[in-house]
Amino acid sequence: MSKHWFIAKLIEKYTKNKKLGLDIGIGQDNWKEFKKSNFIGIDKTQDSKSDIMLNLEGKLPFKDNVFDVVIAINSLNYVENARRLLNEINRVMKKGSPIVCVVDNEKSKNGQYVWEQRYLDRILEVTGFQSVLSKSLKDFLYAKWYNKTSVYAFAVVKKPIKIINKKPQICTKCGNTLYEKAVKDLETGKYIHKKCPKQISKKAKSYSIFTTHPDS
C-alpha cells in the first residue's frame, strides 16, 4: 500500500503523547508505524487486524469519555449511517480530544464511496465537532492542496470542552447535543444549533455523494 505522507504526518502529530486511541476501520493496520500511542482497533471484517470485530452501524461497546484520540482513515465513507457512528465516536471521546478523518474524495476511483470535502466538514460539524486543522496554517494549506491534487479529503476536529449550561442540552429540532454554537429559537423559545441540520437540509442534499445524509 502506498502511504500518503500527509496522512502519516497527521496521525503522528495528533496521536503523540496520548494514552489511548481508537482506530475506526483498522483494516490491516497499515498506519501502525505512525501511531504514537496505544490503540484499540475496531472493524467489521473478519480478515482485519481489529481488536474488536463489530458492526459499525450500531452502538460502540465503550463507556463515555474513554479515548484521548480517534483516527478514521478511509472508513467513515464506507459506513451506511456515518452520522450515527460519529455521534457514537463523540460519546466515547474525552472532551478536547482530536479525531483525524480521511476519506476518498470525488476524484477517487471508488465510485459510490466518496465524499466531497464540504460534506466531510458539514457532517463533522452537525455531529458536534469543531475544527482543529484550521488552527494550523501549514496543515490547513496542505489539506487544501492535497484535496485538490489527490484522491483524499482531510479533516482534524475535536470534541468541544465547553458545553452550554442552560437546559435543555438537546437541540429541539434535530435531537443532537448542543455545544457552544447554540441559539434560542424565536418561535419556540427553546435552544437549537446555530446552524441546525434540519434548517440546511435542502442545501446539503444537493451534494452528489452516496451515503446517509446528516439529517436522515
Question: DSSP letters of 11-34?
Answer: HHHHHTT-SEEEEET-TT-TTGGG
pLDDT, tens digit, 9 for 90 and up, residues 99-134: 999 999 999 988 789 999 999 999 999 999 999 998
pLDDT, tens digit, 9 for 90 and up, residues 46-96: 899 999 999 898 899 999 999 999 999 999 999 999 999 999 999 999 999
The three cell numbers of residue 63 are 463507556
C-alpha 87/C-alpha 92 separation (Å) is: 9
pLDDT of residue 162: 65
pLDDT of residue 103: 97
Q: How many contiguous H segments (helices) and E segments (strands) does the chain have?
A: 5, 9
DSSP 69: E
Domain 5-161 has CATH 3.40.50.150: yes
2: nearest Cα among 193, 150, 170, 184: 150
Q: Is 216's pLDDT higher than 60?
A: no
pTM for this entry: 0.74
Domain boundaries, the chain: 5-161
Mean pLDDT value of segment 182-194 = 66
pLDDT of residue 180: 55
